[in-house]
Every structure is written in structure tokens, then in C-alpha cells.
A and B are shown apart, each in its own frame.
Chain A
């Protein structure tokens, strides 16, 4: 069984929003709702500034608070490491939305179920990368199987220093961030 992870190279993100639109189209995400976002933070005073860019999405945590709180098992962890939602079982109690430290869930208002990034599960089944990864202009997003030592993501996580978001919450994310800033050569 693979163990899917995403690695995001922040230095290569150009905040172009291609991932955001690709995700919305691929997954038919309703208007004004998002499964992924792009964050741009600029610190300092003119002209000494530093900027950080990164895309964010469901971290498919190994210790997922959303799965723990879900009363019906609609939110569940799969053997491939992803956190998925069984829409049929969702009662729309929204506990998972409050449980997520990363604020990546929303309610599909038409149907009432909670929704979020699935790592494009349907594409993985077809052997395709998630839509955001496939279209990432800066090749900032990388995706692969951590159980395969030869995968690109395995190699990067082995050889580079990485971090995850909000490690203090103890969620053990499967989305890893590298190169917080571009190299100042």
C-alpha cells in the first residue's frame, strides 16, 4: 500500500493561483469555497523585506482530529494515508470543521456535507497526480509515495530539512514544507 504525501517547495511558489483554480474545476468545488489556498506573508520595512509564499491544503494527518471527532465515521483515515470523507454518512454536524487546526474544511451548502481536499483520490486511482500538483507552474508542489524509497518525495524528505505546519498540535501532517525562503545566493 502506498503512503501518499505532498512536499511543497515554498521557494518555488510564485503565488500564481493555478492550483486553486485547477482544484476547483477538478473537484467541482462550489463558488467562493476552496480546498486549497495560497498564502503570501511579507515581513519587514521598506526596502528591507522578506516574503514567504506557500500553498496550503488538507494535511491528511496521521493523527487527524477531524477523524477522531467525527461521530459517524464519515471522516476516516485510509490505508494509503489519506483522510477521506464518506459523504453518505456525513450528518453535517460541523465538528470536524472546528476540529481541524488548519481550517481546510467547509460545508458544501447545496448538499450539506463537510468537504475538503481528497488528494484527488479519483485521479490517484487513474494513476494521475492531484490536479494542483499536475498544474503547479513553479513545480512547488510534489506528490508521491513515502513508502517507495526511490520516489521523489522520499528522496527530498530524506535529504532536505523539512517542516510541517503547526507541529505543536501534534497532528502529524503528511504535507511537508521545504525551503521556506528562496536561497539568497
Chain B
């Protein structure tokens, strides 16, 4: 067929170029900070927790920081940044973006309250100079358990939400899958566990989250396979939507590469983690053991980022009909 179109906009034709790395980073960091909220709260709530689990305060502090960085990238993408206040003069029940804006608004204080509550006394003295805030932190301490429980849920909501936005876009078949939020949830949780492993000092915490992460990665891989399978068995547009990942053609090489990367990173991480969990460990982790643990955690983070980037970009290549 010979096609001639006069009057196309560069933002949508011949390929859609609406969202780029800024949104991908936002989605990654959003999912990661959700994962961190949940994982750090789980760390606090888990039974048999030893008092010297030092990462119990750094992670709660890290979560809002990462979310802020993510929102900074999202803000970079807004064409009218000064108009952002309109998000909070409206609530649109059918708009996932409106939900997102409000969720962030509610989750932020939960994160910060939890972070303040979880600060140990000595640390509090060092990093908080403002007496009012120090007082507030002191007041919050008794509610730490409650805040941790709330944060488990809030983290899950945040991580899911990052996938909900894309999944509602019926016009982009790759995104328009109910599995996508679950994929982003598992990926976000897994990334959260990975950061726990890296930041935690104690062997015990590291091994605990390594065990958790094995299950999370396995779930993530299964969900990812189901995601592709769902598209493959869906209508023509959905099947077409995943083609960039599997065509292997020159044009779509980066997408092919992303599948290869996921195919290496995630299974390798599982294997490494399995070895870590089953292996014999001395009282203190050896340097090489530590390195291996951190390396497998980094693999998980790479996998999480690759998923966000690949899906954000490939989704914009997908569409209904076109000119045939």
C-alpha cells in the first residue's frame, strides 16, 4: 500500500514521542520507593527481629527522597509546570493520573511520619537540628508499629499505581493490560528488597531479603511471561504491540536487547540469591560474599529499570489500526 498523509504532528507521527526517559525514571523510582516503604516496614514488623538491624532507619528516610527525585523527573516532563496546582483543585475519579496525584499527596506524609518515628535517638540528635521536628519525632515514636503497618499497604498502593496509569490507556495496546500494574508492583517490591540488601549492614537482614527477593523475582518473571502471553493471545493490536521485543530486526534492536537483558539479569539474580541462601556463611560475611550479594541486588535493579524503559518506549509504538 502507498500511503501519503499531509498534516501529521511530529509528536505522534510516524511514531509517538510523548513520554521519554524522564517518565521511565519516574515510574522506576516511584515503584522503587513504594517497594522500600513496604520492605522497610516489613523489616520492622517481621518476627525474630534483632535490635541491631541497623537499616531500619536509613531506608524509611531514603524512600521519600527517591520519590522526590522521581517526581522531579516527572515534573521535568510537564509542559506547564506552574499549572501543576490544578492537580489538587480537581479530583477526577476515572482518571488514574488524578488518583496518582492524590495518592502521592497522602503517601508523602505517611512516609515522612514513618521515617521520623523510626529514627533512633542518637541519629535523631545528629541529623535533626530543628527542635520542633525533633519533638515531633519524639511524639511519633510510640506510633511506629501502626505507621509501619500503614506503610506496608501504602507502599503497595504506590507501586501498583505506577502501572495503573499506563494500563488504562486503551489506545496503546502494550500498556493496556491489567497485568501491567501487577508487573510493576512485583518489580517495585523486588527492587525495594534489592536496595534493602545493599543498604543493610547485617548478614541477617541481607539474607532475609534475599529470601524474599527470590520469591519476588520468580513472581516477576511469571507475571512478565503472562504479560507477553496475554498480548500474544489478545487481539491483533495487542499481538502486534509486543513484536518489537521479538522481531530482532535492526529497527527494533533496543527492544530485543531489553528482552535479552531481562532474560539474563532476572534468572542470574535468582541463581545467585539461591546460592547465597543455601550456602554456608561465616558469622561475618566475606568480602566476596558481600560483593556477590550486592551484585545480585544490582542485577535486580537493572532489570526493574529495563522493564520501565522498555515498556514506556515500546508502548508508544503500539496502537490500533493505523493505515492498512
Contacts and interface: CB of A to CB of B under 8 A. Distances in A.
Interface of A: 15, 17, 20, 32-34, 36-43, 65, 68-74, 88-95, 97-101, 103, 105-107, 111-114, 165-166, 168-171
B316 A98 contact: yes
B172 to A, nearest CB: 6
B271 interface: no
Interface stretch (B41-49, B86-94, B112-120, B281-289): B86-94
Interface stretch (B4-12, B56-64, B188-196): B4-12
Given A39-B5, A72-B86, A103-B16, 12 more contacts: A17-B7, A20-B7, A42-B1, A69-B95, A69-B168, A71-B101, A72-B87, A72-B90, A89-B83, A93-B79, A103-B12, A168-B320
Interface string B1-35: 11111111111110010110000000000000000
Size bracket of the B interface: 35 or more
Do most interface residues of chain B lie in helix, strand or loop, or is the interface mixed?
A: loop
B131 interface: no
Contacts of B5: 37-40
Contacts of B201: none
Given A34-B8, A39-B323, A101 B87 contact: no
Contacts, number: 152
A112 B80 contact: yes
Which A-B residue pairs are the 7 nearest by beta carbons? A92-B79, A37-B7, A71-B97, A112-B79, A101-B171, A103-B12, A34-B7
B78 A93 contact: yes
Contact of B80 (A38, A39, A92): A92
B83 A166 contact: no
B165 A94 contact: no
A65 B171 contact: yes
A74 to B, nearest CB: 7
Nearest to B13: A103
11 contacts: A32-B9, A34-B8, A39-B3, A41-B1, A68-B94, A71-B101, A72-B83, A72-B87, A72-B92, A91-B78, A91-B81
Contacts of A107: 11, 79
Nearest to A35: B7
B226 interface: no
Q: Which of A33, A41, A71 has the most CB of B within 10 A?
A: A71
B165 A20 contact: no
A93 B77 contact: yes
Nearest to B315: A98
